[in-house]
Chain A
């Protein structure tokens, strides 16, 4: 009996010849990632539990990105960053990316990719549910809480239950009005927010093969929205090219066997898909853009680890070129590298940044910003009565700020088309 790519990686990490779904194993962790919200309590638990003997299992394998509550006057939030800074200083950590310095990177999941921490065949844990994003690189990546992270910090080990795998295959030719965000919203509408609980979500097919690493990351990022433990896409030439450009050349490549056992398989023909939204207040509350067209908006938001990558801004710039936004629109590059790309990359001779400025968008500094609401002075935060369309990943009550606000999730194409009209708009109007 064959194994899935997820099973093979976990078997390697558990130092076993094979593993099967449902089995509990102890894993050796390759990278532990944390940030300003969950880092300080993780450090506190680690100090308390290991006491005087507290030792970081491997400093090279610990990566810390302040990214969540960065540009705020909230003193408690600032204190969290101070705690990280002190910790990095005390232990002389090589992979701490402090805010206010040139090392600052922005949103952790995108920074992990850019900084070369996403290595095919490895196992990465992070104190953030969207850690599953890294699975786009043919690796196992998932989120854990602070206690589990503190345990890893001291031992390099963690227990996991081997997940069953669900396979999602996309065939056909990607229409220009469909982005990978539509693919994952389609899946979420089909299987629901608990449709993949405790399971791996494996994506494949010719459409996936044709996607850039960033578009792939949109899919694996939102695996958690279906309750998935991890999302995974096999290594290929696109992965290889991305990695070689940032100097990552050593890794283990795993593929699912033909006779691997899957929990279930789903097949999609992308040519038949429509631009989609997730209506308030759940990522699986799917509808077509056409069905909600004309809904009046108060804010548009293009940002986050899901929808603030360079590919998202390329989509947006294409529609915004020569247009103006009719409603307050926030552009929040996920990382400082993306922010720099907005300045450098041009469309018809004009930088993407200038296109956004001319269109009347508000460009914010790289961070999680209003994706998760945040302190009251967070840029783009939703307030009472807001109706927002956003490229982010969650629209639970209160997620972007006020619990009375209504948030629609959509692709960067749909969000941009809607920003130009001031009401929810199908991107086909502009393409």
Chain B
């Protein structure tokens, strides 16, 4: 696990559901074939209504053209991030697109579990709504030791909730790695 993660922020609103993160029609692609896997990155966040894509102004697609990777690596959301289906393809598609951290005020249970147990990304909770404080395109840094996000664009920083119970699984890189290091399997 990297201790400091830097990149451009992509800001979204409340209730970003799994159909917006990866629409159901694309769930047919193989997750083990490296070429097909790229499709998940390409379609990541493709069902977010365009006026809500990349707040505060909207109109900023997460993926441009035929790419499967995004210029944004840190996603900022509001409440209830990842609500909806159990599809693990949701955090997977964000990972394939290059996202390393999501920071949201709250998460739906399955998305949160999937992010942690699959080792796709770090799901941090913010202590208040950061989607009002950070703009899409801001250059930010997440400090995993200090549980902090620093916005280098305006110089402000915000404390994040420690990962708590799941920290050991996140640190190990997922449920299987955790189970192996702790001798469970």
Residues of A within 8 A of B (CB): 24, 37-38, 40-41, 44, 48-50, 69, 74, 76-77, 79-80, 126-129, 131, 143-148, 150-151, 154-155, 161, 193-194, 197-198, 227, 229, 282, 372-376, 394, 396-399, 403
Contacts and interface: CB of A to CB of B under 8 A. Distances in A.
* Secondary structure class of chain B's binding surface, majority of residues: loop
A12 to B, nearest CB: 21
B41 interface: no
Contact of B108 (A194, A372, A394): A194
B29 interface: yes
Contact of A227 (B31, B80, B113, B174): B80
Given A145-B87, A145-B118, A396 B28 contact: no
Interface in B56-115: 79-80, 83-89, 106-110, 113-114
A94 B134 CA distance: 53
Given A144-B110, A145-B113, A194-B106, A397 B47 contact: yes
Given A128-B86, A151-B176, A227 B108 contact: yes
Contacts of B184: 155
B20 interface: yes
Contact of A194 (B25, B30, B79, B175): B79
Given A145-B87, A193-B15, A24 B165 contact: yes
A145 B114 contact: yes
Contacts of A144: 86, 110, 113-114
Nearest to A399: B19
Interface string B144-185: 000000000000000000000100000000111001000011
A403 B32 CA distance: 28
Given A148-B175, A155-B185, A80 B28 contact: yes
A345 to B, nearest CB: 32
Instruction: Give the residue among A76, A126, A131, A194 with the most B Cβ atoms within 10 A.
Output: A194
B90 to A, nearest CB: 9
Nearest to B27: A37
A74 B28 contact: yes
B25 A373 contact: yes
Interface residues of B, number: 42
Contacts, number: 132
B117 A375 contact: no
22 contacts: A44-B32, A76-B28, A77-B28, A79-B28, A80-B28, A128-B85, A129-B84, A129-B86, A143-B110, A144-B114, A145-B117, A151-B117, A161-B165, A194-B83, A194-B108, A197-B109, A227-B83, A227-B108, A396-B20, A396-B84, A397-B20, A398-B19
B86 A38 contact: yes
Contacts of A154: 185
A77 B175 CA distance: 28
B118 to A, nearest CB: 4
A424 B49 CA distance: 25
Nearest to B119: A147
A282 B19 CA distance: 12
A428 B40 CA distance: 46
A97 B11 CA distance: 43
